[in-house]
Structure 1
Amino acid sequence: MSAHSGGSRPHPVVAVVGPTGSGKSELAVRLAQRIGGEIINADAMQFYRGMDIGTAKILPGDRGGIDHHLLDILDVTDEASVSAYQRQARTTIDEIASRGAVPILVGGSGLYVRSALDVLEFPGTSPEIRASLEEELARHGTTQLRERLARVDPASADRVQDDRRLVRALEVFEVTGKPFSSFMPRRQYHQPAVQIGLDVDRAELRQRLAGRVDRMVAAGLEQEVARLAQHGLRQGKTASRALGYAQFLQVLDGTLSLEAATTDTVAATRKFARRQRTWFSADPRIEWLPWKAPDLVEQSVQHITRTLES
Structure 2
Amino acid sequence: MAGSTPAGAAGSIPPVIAVVGPTGSGKSDLAVALAERLEGEVINADALQFYRGMDIGTAKMTLEERRGVPHHLLDILEVHEEASVSDFQQQARAAVAAIHARGRRAILAGGSGLYVRAALDVIEFPGTDPGLRRRLEAELADEGMAALRERLRRVDPVSAQRLGDARRIVRALEVHELTGRAFSSFMPERRYLQPAVQIGLEVDREELKERLARRVHRMAGAGLLEEVRALEARGLRGGRTASRALGYAQFLKVLDGEWGIDEAVADTIAATRKFARRQLTWFRADGRIAWFGWQDPQLVPKVLEHIAKLEG
TM-score by length of 2: 0.96
Counterpart CA distance in 1 for 2:238 and 2:90 is 25
Matching residue within 112, 116, 119 for 1:109: 112
Q: What is the SS of the residue equivalent to 1:289?
A: strand
Q: Does 1:40 align with 2:40?
A: no
Q: Does 1:62 align with 2:65?
A: yes
Counterpart CA distance in 2 for 1:124 and 1:53 is 32
What is the percentage of aligned positions where both structures have the same residue? 63
Q: Does 1:261 align with 2:276?
A: no
Asked if the contact 2:21/2:27 (under 8 Å) is kept, the reply is yes
Asked if the contact 2:140/2:148 (under 8 Å) is kept, the reply is yes
Gaps of 5+ in 1: none
Q: How does 1:1-310 map to 2 (within 5 A)?
A: 10-309=13-312
CA RMSD for the aligned pairs? 1.3
Counterpart CA distance in 2 for 1:7 and 1:246 is 45
Deviation at 1:6, TM superposition (A): 9.4
Deviation at 1:9, TM superposition (A): 5.2
Deviation at 1:20, TM superposition (A): 0.4
Q: What is the SS of the residue equivalent to 2:292?
A: strand
Q: What is the SS of the residue equivalent to 2:125?
A: coil
Counterpart CA distance in 2 for 1:6 and 1:199 is 28
Deviation at 1:206, TM superposition (A): 0.7
Gaps of 5+ in 2: 1-6
Q: Kindly provide the CA deviation profile for residues 23-81 of structure 1, in whole angstroms up to 9, marking residues without a partner as x.
A: 11111101100111000000000000000000000000010110000000000000000
Change (3 A) 1:101 1:261: same
Counterpart CA distance in 2 for 1:161 and 1:49 is 29
Q: Kindly provide the CA deviation profile for residues 219-254 of structure 1, in whole angstroms up to 9, marking residues without a partner as x.
A: 000000000001110110000010000000000000
After TM superposition, the structure 1 stretch with the greater mean CA deviation from structure 2, 221-230 or 160-169, is 160-169
Aligned residues: 306
Amino acid at match of 2:269: V
Amino acid at match of 1:77: H
Deviation at 1:215, TM superposition (A): 0.5
Deviation at 1:160, TM superposition (A): 1.1
Asked if the contact 2:13/2:100 (under 8 Å) is kept, the reply is no
Amino acid at match of 1:73: I
Amino acid at match of 1:290: G
After TM superposition, the structure 1 stretch with the greater mean CA deviation from structure 2, 189-198 or 123-132, is 123-132
Counterpart CA distance in 2 for 1:192 and 1:100 is 16
Asked if the contact 1:11/1:191 (under 8 Å) is kept, the reply is no
Deviation at 1:209, TM superposition (A): 0.5
Counterpart CA distance in 2 for 1:86 and 1:108 is 15
Q: What is the SS of the residue equivalent to 1:243?
A: coil
Counterpart CA distance in 1 for 2:266 and 2:199 is 31
Deviation at 1:10, TM superposition (A): 3.9
RCO greater where, 1 or 2, for CA within 8 Å and sep 6 or more?
A: 2
Runs of 4+ residues deviating >6 angstroms: 4-7
Counterpart CA distance in 1 for 2:266 and 2:39 is 41
Amino acid at match of 2:209: R
Counterpart CA distance in 1 for 2:25 and 2:122 is 27
Asked if the contact 2:123/2:188 (under 8 Å) is kept, the reply is yes
Deviation at 1:5, TM superposition (A): 6.2
Counterpart CA distance in 2 for 1:246 and 1:224 is 12
Asked if the contact 1:118/1:185 (under 8 Å) is kept, the reply is no
Q: What is the SS of the residue equivalent to 1:143?
A: helix
Q: What is the SS of the residue equivalent to 2:198?
A: strand
TM-score by length of 1: 0.96
Q: What is the SS of the residue equivalent to 1:34?
A: helix
Deviation at 1:131, TM superposition (A): 1.7
